Amino acid sequence: MTTATTTAGPARAATAKPVTMAQALNRALRDALAADPAVHVLGEDVGTLGGVFRVTDGLAKEFGDQRCTDTPLAEAGILGAAVGMAMYGLRPVVEMQFDAFAYPAFEQLVSHVARMRNRTRGALPLPITIRIPYGGGIGGVEHHSDSSEAYYMHTPGLHVLTPATVEDAYGMLRAAIASDDPVVFLEPKRLYWSKAAWPTGEPEPVPPIGRAVVRRPGRTATLVTYGPSLPVCLEAAEAAKEEGWDLGVVDLRSLVPFDEETVAAAVRGTGRAVVVHESSGFAGAGAEIAARITERCFHHLEAPVLRVAGFDIPYPPPMLERHHLPGVDRILDAVGRLQWEEG
């Protein structure tokens, strides 16, 4: 991994006060801009407005509009320009306003960002961070709720990260910006307003990219998840106690690279795994995860690895989205089916 692990985290606050994920991301950007003059933030409405989710709030004021720039409205242009800026030694952090509005930049991403290091034999690594608010559950109208991680995971040459907690949002974004490789940084929209008392301790070192974390140990089965689905899985694990099930929960944090060790160790401990994500199941992230679990843990498995995912449909209108998103019941039903396999 190419990530620096030395950059300091936020200074200890006098009293820990609740901070939202959006504010933690804002702090990460501010600290990164302050720490390294090569860091430049660019995107639509990131300057004066501070971004539609306020993640870039105050940055243009503090660092000037050359460090935090409102660009013309063109995602291919934003990412293409970031490639050139990175070639010249800058460290661009671009914002795509919403998941589905990153698609115009797809060609730049796949044809250039992801392969520049490879095609130039390492001469032109691209330290670009591409922040994308993603996922549903916020009542957004058409094109505001996509989960596009599988496209990015399937593109060799990219890191794909997605935080699920306030602390991780900070640390992982710092790590993404410090990385010399391009990082697609997927921010779960519906967790933007989630809060944590933070920071609570001494400055944390920026975590290395690519480590999953066990959020909850368990003995009956392991839920493997990431991003917006983590809180749902934790809730399911709580509810499962009523059934007498002790569910473990693994938060992947990084989809690429994929931390097989942590996942395999957790699944070996239970012999049962359910992969949970809200993007469509068919050829989704869960397919890769389930395949790897099967390959690594086959002799420990008591049941096939199951997936609980969004349906294979275009993201539905907000009034119907609750039927699409994997919820506690659907997760517990899957866990129930694992027990059947045992009997």
Partner 1 sequence: MTVLDTPAWRPRTDPAPLLPDAEPYRLLGTPDAARLDDAWLTTLYGQLVRGRRYNQQATALTKQGRLAVYPSSTGQEAAEVAAALALRPEDWLFPSYRDTLSVVARGVDPVEALTLLRGDWHTGYDPRAHRVAPLSTPLATQLPHAVGLAHAARLSGDAIAALAMVGDGGTSEGDFHEALNFAAVWQAPVVFLVQNNGFAISVPLAKQTAAPSIAHKAVGYGMPGRLVDGNDAAAVHEVLAAAVDRARGGGGPTLVEAVTYRIDAHTNADDATRYRDDAEVEAWRAHDPIALLERELTRRGRLDDELRREAADRAEEMAADLRRRMHAEPRLDPMDLFAHVLAEPTPQLREQRALLRAELEAERQS
Ligand X SMILES: Cc1ncc(C[n+]2csc(CCOP(=O)(O)OP(=O)(O)O)c2C)c(N)n1
**Residue 18 touches which of partner 1, ligand X, none (Cβ within 5-8 Å per kind):** none
CA 59 – CA 65 distance, rounded (Å): 8
Instruction: Select from 25, 15, 34 the least CA-distant residue to 54.
Output: 25
In whole angstroms, the minimum distance from the beta carbon of 116 to ligand X comes to 24
Convert 70-96 to b/e letters by CB count within 10 Å (16 or more is b): bbeeebeebbbbbbebbeeebbbbbbb
DSSP string, 276-340: EEEEESTTSHHHHHHHHHHHHHGGG-SS--EEEEE-SSSPPPGGGHHHHS--HHHHHHHHHHHHH
CA 271 – CA 222 distance, rounded (Å): 8
Of the candidates 9, 50, 135, 157, which one interacts with partner 1 according to CB under 8 A? 50
Site string for partner 1, 119-148 (x = CB under 8 A): --------------------xxxxxx----
DSSP 246: -
CA 309 – CA 194 distance, rounded (Å): 22
Q: Residue 141 class from Cβ within 10 Å (0-12 exposed, 13-18 middle, 19+ buried)?
A: exposed
**Does position 283 bind ligand X by CB under 6 A?**
no
**Does position 73 bind ligand X by CB under 6 A?**
yes
Q: Binding to partner 1 (CB under 8 A): which residues in 30-49?
A: 44-45, 47-49
Asked about 144 being catalytic, the answer comes back as yes
Q: Which residue is nearest to ligand X (CB)?
A: 101
Q: Which is nearer to ligand X, 99 or 251 (CB)?
A: 99
Could you give the 3-state DSSP secondary structure of residue 166?
A: helix
Which range, of 97-105, 168-176, 184-192, 333-341, touches ligand X by CB under 6 A? 97-105
**Given 144, 159, 277, 324, the catalytic residue:** 144
**Does position 330 bind partner 1 by CB under 8 A?**
yes
**Residue 197 touches which of ligand X, partner 1, none (Cβ within 5-8 Å per kind):** none
**Does position 311 bind ligand X by CB under 6 A?**
no
**Residues catalogued as catalytic:** 144
Which parts of this chain interact with partner 1 (CB under 8 A)? Answer: 44-45, 47-50, 52, 70-77, 100-101, 103-104, 139-144, 281-282, 311-314, 316-320, 323-324, 329-330
Which parts of this chain interact with ligand X (CB under 6 A)? Answer: 44, 73, 97, 101, 104
